Copies of this chain bind each other. A is one copy, B any other.
Amino acid sequence: MKNMLVAQSGGPSAAINATITGVIDAGLDSDKVQHVYGALNGIKGVLNENFVMLDEICKSKEERDLLSMTPAAALGSCRWKLKDPKDNAEEFEKIIQILRKHNIGYFIYTGGNDSMDTVYKLSQYFEAHGVDDIKVMGAPKTIDNDLGETDHCPGFGSAAKFIAATFREIACDSYVYDIPSVTIVEVMGRNAGWLTASAALARTEKRRAPQLIYLCEIAFDEQKFLQDVREALKKENNIIIAVSEGLKDARGNYVGEETKSGKEDAFGHKYLSGIGKYLEGLVGEQIGCKVRSVELNILQRCAGYMLSRTDITESRNLGAYAAISAVRGESGKMPALKRISDRPYHVEIRLADLSRIANYEKTVPTEWITEEGNDITEELVEYLTPLIQGEMDVPYENGIPKRFIL
């Protein structure tokens, strides 16, 4: 009997703990798995042999259910990209040595593009060097919904639900005054506008807010934007606008870049913030009506009080599928979702090749954005709607949601 190891990587999400819960479920269920370990802070925890006994800690179903509904990453995360094995064989050898030392035959790594790159490199190295006693599997996670080969990503549905619900609340808040007002809401998304698009799910027949939606897939034109806002204000007093944090102009420069910080993270991604504030200034200056901006900020990814049951269930299933696949001898792959139908919503899990996932970003197809570039199409609404359905029965403790803490 071998041990199983799971670790989390990349930015937190509301569903990544559901995925490791699925791994624990499968590990406890399998007669080929002795223990399920968790590595703290991703691949760094593997290198430092910083392990916890997850099957012991989460022995009860109650504890596992709590873990599955806790946002962020209970095992901690890291932003650590393994270098190319050519330059870094030592690190790969060290990982193999540590895994063998702890009799780990199955290693499941949850994360986004960068983490799938880590899994891919490991599996390639294992294959090239005849390491066949350790199976390594990815499990998808990213609120950005930008992984290839899967219909959508665990964590996205809950983030989309939070965003849609929040736009509805912001509309309630904005409609109370009868003077013209513009509210600009900045949503996460550097290169993919999926999260911003989900603002459209806030609409009802009686209230069409947000009236304007700008995704980062379409070059942003400030003059066209101001014209859109002026047109919208002719029809209604209260205008709500959803914008992706990563809006770029026709030359590919971030809109209002000079007003934002230029810091970069370990992967060279620019930290973005402030497009909302920038556009607030623009509307105030050029149109002169009451205007405010709201940055949804980290709540988008960590608000576990607004979980999508569809998302949490799928995330847990994907974690279990990754674990079971590893036990069955699969390696270097990632379980992915294939949508069979929209109505009724039905998905199936299939294994996808990491070679086609690592470092690839799936953006919103332009045919799902209206020609005017200021809204999304009905097809995209159809795609998004099932992903936010259903609620979880989150346990409360002293008035607020109870959380799993290691």
The reply to whether B172 and A302 contact each other, CB–CB distance below 8 Å, is yes
Residue from the list B73, B173, B388 in contact with A302, Cβ < 8 A: B173
A199-207, A225-233, A242-250, A317-325 - interface stretch: A199-207
Interface string of A36-48 (1 = CB under 8 A from B): 0000110010000
* In the complex, chain B residues whose CB is within 8 Å of the CB of A8: 176
Please report the C-alpha to C-alpha distance between residue A398 and residue B388 in the assembled complex, in whole angstroms: 8
The reply to whether A389 and B385 contact each other, CB–CB distance below 8 Å, is no
The reply to whether B178 and A41 contact each other, CB–CB distance below 8 Å, is yes
The reply to whether A73 and B164 contact each other, CB–CB distance below 8 Å, is no
* In the complex, chain B residues whose CB is within 8 Å of the CB of A175: 72, 76
* In the complex, chain B residues whose CB is within 8 Å of the CB of A403: 168-169, 172, 204
Please report the C-alpha to C-alpha distance between residue A26 and residue B33 in the assembled complex, in whole angstroms: 63
A219 close to B (CB within 8 Å): no
The reply to whether A400 and B202 contact each other, CB–CB distance below 8 Å, is yes
The reply to whether A303 and B166 contact each other, CB–CB distance below 8 Å, is yes
Take A177-B41, A400-B388 as given contacts and tell me if A169 and B76 are in contact as well, using a CB distance cutoff of 8 Å. Answer: no
The reply to whether B299 and A172 contact each other, CB–CB distance below 8 Å, is no
The reply to whether B399 and A169 contact each other, CB–CB distance below 8 Å, is no
The reply to whether A12 and B71 contact each other, CB–CB distance below 8 Å, is no
**A233 smallest CB distance to B (angstroms):** 18
A180 close to B (CB within 8 Å): no
A98-106, A131-139, A290-298, A358-366 - interface stretch: A290-298
The reply to whether A396 and B391 contact each other, CB–CB distance below 8 Å, is yes
The reply to whether A173 and B306 contact each other, CB–CB distance below 8 Å, is no
Residue from the list B165, B388, B399 in contact with A389, Cβ < 8 A: B399
A window 140-179: CB within 8 A of B: 161, 164-166, 168-170, 172-173, 175-178
The reply to whether A71 and B299 contact each other, CB–CB distance below 8 Å, is no
The reply to whether A207 and B385 contact each other, CB–CB distance below 8 Å, is no
The reply to whether A206 and B388 contact each other, CB–CB distance below 8 Å, is no
A77 close to B (CB within 8 Å): yes
* In the complex, chain B residues whose CB is within 8 Å of the CB of A306: 305
The reply to whether B302 and A400 contact each other, CB–CB distance below 8 Å, is no
A21 close to B (CB within 8 Å): no
The reply to whether A71 and B172 contact each other, CB–CB distance below 8 Å, is yes
A70 close to B (CB within 8 Å): yes
Please report the C-alpha to C-alpha distance between residue A403 and residue B170 in the assembled complex, in whole angstroms: 12
Which B-chain residue is minimally distant from A14 (CB atoms)?
Answer: B169
The reply to whether A77 and B177 contact each other, CB–CB distance below 8 Å, is yes
Please report the C-alpha to C-alpha distance between residue A168 and residue B71 in the assembled complex, in whole angstroms: 10
Please report the C-alpha to C-alpha distance between residue A269 and residue B56 in the assembled complex, in whole angstroms: 56
Please report the C-alpha to C-alpha distance between residue A178 and residue B77 in the assembled complex, in whole angstroms: 8
The reply to whether A399 and B388 contact each other, CB–CB distance below 8 Å, is yes
* In the complex, chain B residues whose CB is within 8 Å of the CB of A401: 165, 168-169
Please report the C-alpha to C-alpha distance between residue A235 and residue B231 in the assembled complex, in whole angstroms: 55
Residue from the list B170, B295, B405 in contact with A204, Cβ < 8 A: B405
The reply to whether A78 and B177 contact each other, CB–CB distance below 8 Å, is yes
* In the complex, chain B residues whose CB is within 8 Å of the CB of A181: none
The reply to whether B298 and A176 contact each other, CB–CB distance below 8 Å, is no
Please report the C-alpha to C-alpha distance between residue A79 and residue B177 in the assembled complex, in whole angstroms: 9
Query: Beyond A72-B172, A169-B304, A294-B299: 9 further Cβ-contacts under 8 Å?
Result: A72-B176, A76-B177, A161-B400, A164-B400, A169-B401, A172-B304, A204-B397, A204-B403, A295-B297
Residues of A within 8 A of B (CB): 8, 12, 40-41, 44, 70-73, 76-79, 161, 164-166, 168-170, 172-173, 175-178, 201-202, 204, 206-207, 292, 294-295, 297-299, 301-306, 308, 385, 388-391, 396-401, 403, 405
Q: Which 5 A-B pairs have the closest CB atoms?
A: A72-B172, A388-B399, A173-B302, A165-B400, A77-B176
